[in-house]
Amino acid sequence: MQSTEKVKLKEPLWERQEKETSFAYTLFLKYKDEKMNCLGNLVSLALKLGRSKKYAHSLQVYSCVFSWKERLDAYIDHLNKIELEEQEKARRDMVRRQADNGVAFQTKAMEMLANLTQNLDADDVCRLIETGVKMERIARGAPSEITTVAPPERIETREERMARLHKQLEDING
């Protein structure tokens, strides 16, 4: 390596940079793999490369010049972004699928209700409709049940509790 002046990075940061030799980029990739697998530091990388511990100093120079930590952080952020996008797509697909299934349940139940010649009674049809409605509501983010919330009971203060306990003790002791 000729210069220890820090290189200005270009996007995407984890790809080979201007002025970065093939050798320097290979070292970065090995560093990235080590860190991604939580396997160690520059000394352990030097040893894995078949070099002495002193070679870690050379790796430190490469790391500084080519901003290995910053590039690795950008790469990890990139992977996390991809993973989040995949999870969000899977969630949207699941919601769509469950909502469609809920509507299909309701449609089938209404057909059965119109044609009660099948071996279902009205209770079975009602349960099917209820299940379909619940599935669709949950999938669309609506509450599956409507509940009322009772106001909380009054909480006894410490003084009131102590007075009550003293009165109970008095009653017990006569």
Kindly state whether residues 99 and 62 are assigned to the same domain.
no
Over the chain, what is the mean pLDDT?
Answer: 81
Q: Does 151 have pLDDT greater than 70? A: no
> What pLDDT is stored for residue 37 in this prediction?
72
Q: Does 105 have pLDDT greater than 90? A: no
Report residue 120's pLDDT band, with 50, 70 and 90 as the boundaries. Answer: low
Q: Is residue 162 part of a domain?
A: no
Q: Does 140 have pLDDT greater than 60? A: yes
Q: Is residue 145 part of a domain?
A: no
> What pLDDT is stored for residue 149 in this prediction?
60
Q: Is residue 2 part of a domain?
A: yes
DSSP label at 151?
A: P
Q: Which conformational region is residue 157 in: left (phi greater than 0), alpha (psi within -120 to 50 degrees), or beta?
A: beta
Q: How many domains does the chain have?
A: 2
3-class DSSP state of 8? coil
Kindly state whether residues 4 and 34 are assigned to the same domain.
yes
d(CA 95, CA 137): 10
Average pLDDT (105-112) is: 78
d(CA 129, CA 108): 8
Looking at 9-18, 43-52, 109-118, which range is the least confident one?
109-118
> What pLDDT is stored for residue 2 in this prediction?
58
Q: What confidence tens digit (pLDDT) does each residue in 55-87 have?
A: 999 999 999 999 999 999 999 999 989 998 998
Sign of CA dihedral 125, 126, 131, 136: positive
Q: Is residue 93 part of a domain?
A: yes
Instruction: Pick 63 or 159 by higher pLDDT.
Output: 63
Last residue of a domain, one of 35, 66, 97: 66
> What pLDDT is stored for residue 74 in this prediction?
92
d(CA 58, CA 49): 12
> What pLDDT is stored for residue 119 in this prediction?
67
Can you give the pTM of this predicted structure? 0.51
Residue 12 structural domain: 1-66
Last residue of a domain, one of 16, 36, 66: 66
Average pLDDT (88-103) is: 85
> What pLDDT is stored for residue 64 in this prediction?
92
Q: Does 117 have pLDDT greater than 60? A: no
